[in-house]
Structure 1
Amino acid sequence: MFKHSKTLLTAAVALSVGLAACTTNPQTGQSQMSKTAMYGLGAAAACGIAGAATHGSKGARNAALGCGIVGAGVGAYMDYQEKQLRDKLANTQVGVDRVGDQIKLTMPDNITFAVNSAELQPSVRTALTDVSNVLTQYPDTTITVAGHTDNTGNVAYNQTLSQRRAQSVAGFLQSRGVAGSRINPVGYGQNQPIASNTTAEGRAKNRRVEILINPKAS
């Protein structure tokens, strides 16, 4: 009886995913399901059964919905993460950008680190905790944490500082449950400016840490 009810729940969840993805054929006026949605529906049903077997009805629902997104394609998987990250970071100074299937989070230096320091400021820890919570829900991504500086001071020192800052952010993400095997901290020093280093405003933009989120290669 218990197994039967879980199977029914899985079917209901999968059906709701499918109905939400139906479109109207412009020639016939009839409702139909896109091929992409059909793939997502199949994935949702299969994952829902697995979730029910291991975690009960709640597991069936969460697994079906999560795998339905994956089944709909990499783009949809990244879309949902992007939405959650934008919602979580809306009232912070952390920038969220999307290029293709990559999501880029940009943390300006003024909220992330003190001058010449690689210790995270308290003001950015809350934002990074929210980022970690989203990343742990979507394990099928890799994460590059990139540290950048302006061109002020010694080149070798800037390179070392950028690496230490990238490692500091990566370590924080890992301490909040993001698998270390997914994270690659890299220091670029002053080699990748995004603005002119001839002005104070430009140098401020160049001092940053970026979190680059990419889908795992299939």
Structure 2
Amino acid sequence: MQLNKMVATAVLMVSALLAGCQTTNPYTGEQQTNKSTKYGLGGVLAGAALGALADGKDGALKGAVLGGAAGAGYGYYLDKQEAVLRAELQGTGVHVYRQGDQLSLIMPSNITFDSSRSAIKSAFYPVLGSVAKVFKEYDRNLIEIVGYTDSTGGDKINLPLSQQRAESVADYLVFQGVPATRITAFGQGSADPIASNSTSAGRAQNRRVEINLLPAPQR
């Protein structure tokens, strides 16, 4: 019973620290709790359990606090990075999508490449420059760049085209100073459609490049 009280106390302490992570969604105006709060509370419970096994009630309290801080760390970092990317990319046509500890930028081909081409449109260079600037400032991610096409043309055309488009984006980020060691680039052709390929609007959505930001391994 005493151990449960100690864990509850730690949860309250870390929750209070994370309460400041609540923000207003810039698109809906609604209050939302940042992902870091969820990570932090998850870390509290995990840390408390491990600490209790190692050192009883004192270990539970210490483990909960440390676990909460560690759990909130990358989530809070990603919250800040997400906010900066949304501000930089507002009105560009690039969609910023967040799921858990993965942050993705979805770039439709109509703003990035001409039809059947892998050379980046000149008008899109400033947008990628803004992306590169944020990636250099926030350098705790691995950068996965994936090219996609619609289902027309077949794999013989689509796979190399999607690969070349992903590599074009990667090359420009490196040119802008993002370390190549953080970047992987590959094409998926018509795999993983996000809309129906039976309509022109759906095919346009499927022709895209995605940049996925993933947590780098701890050193």
* Same fold? TM cut 0.5: yes
* TM-score category, normalised to shorter length: 0.5 to 0.7
Q: Which residue of structure 1 lines up, in the alignment, with residue 175 of structure 2?
A: 175
Q: Which residue of structure 2 lines up, in the alignment, with residue 90 of structure 1?
A: 90
Q: Indicate whether 1:120 and 2:115 are aligned.
A: no
Once residues 77 and 22 of structure 1 are traced to their aligned partners in structure 2, the CA distance between those partners, rounded to angstroms, is 13
Q: Which residue of structure 2 lines up, in the alignment, with residue 213 of structure 1?
A: 213
Once residues 93 and 181 of structure 1 are traced to their aligned partners in structure 2, the CA distance between those partners, rounded to angstroms, is 28
Deviation at 1:23, TM superposition (A): 6.7
Once residues 136 and 124 of structure 2 are traced to their aligned partners in structure 1, the CA distance between those partners, rounded to angstroms, is 18
Deviation at 1:155, TM superposition (A): 1.5
Deviation at 1:139, TM superposition (A): 1.5
Once residues 113 and 200 of structure 2 are traced to their aligned partners in structure 1, the CA distance between those partners, rounded to angstroms, is 17
How many pairs does the alignment contain?
Answer: 157
1:131-146 matched pairs, under 5 angstroms: 131-146=131-146
Q: Which residue of structure 1 lines up, in the alignment, with residue 111 of structure 2?
A: 111
Once residues 119 and 84 of structure 1 are traced to their aligned partners in structure 2, the CA distance between those partners, rounded to angstroms, is 27
1:1-218 matched pairs, under 5 angstroms: 73-218=73-218
Query: Closer, same or farther in 2 for the Cα pair 1:162/1:71, shift >3 Å?
Result: same
Once residues 212 and 18 of structure 2 are traced to their aligned partners in structure 1, the CA distance between those partners, rounded to angstroms, is 33
Task: List gaps (5 residues or longer) in structure 2.
Answer: 1-16, 21-36, 41-68
1:129-180 deviations in Å (ceiling 9; x for gaps): 0110000012111010000000111311100000000000000111111100
- Between the aligned residues of both structures, percent identity stands at 43
Query: Closer, same or farther in 2 for the Cα pair 1:116/1:22, shift >3 Å?
Result: closer
Query: Closer, same or farther in 2 for the Cα pair 1:70/1:158, shift >3 Å?
Result: same
Deviation at 1:123, TM superposition (A): 2.0
Query: Closer, same or farther in 2 for the Cα pair 1:75/1:120, shift >3 Å?
Result: same
Query: Closer, same or farther in 2 for the Cα pair 1:90/1:22, shift >3 Å?
Result: closer
Once residues 199 and 109 of structure 2 are traced to their aligned partners in structure 1, the CA distance between those partners, rounded to angstroms, is 16
Amino acid at match of 2:198: T
User: What SS does structure 2 have at the residue aligned with 1:73?
Assistant: helix
Once residues 154 and 99 of structure 2 are traced to their aligned partners in structure 1, the CA distance between those partners, rounded to angstroms, is 32
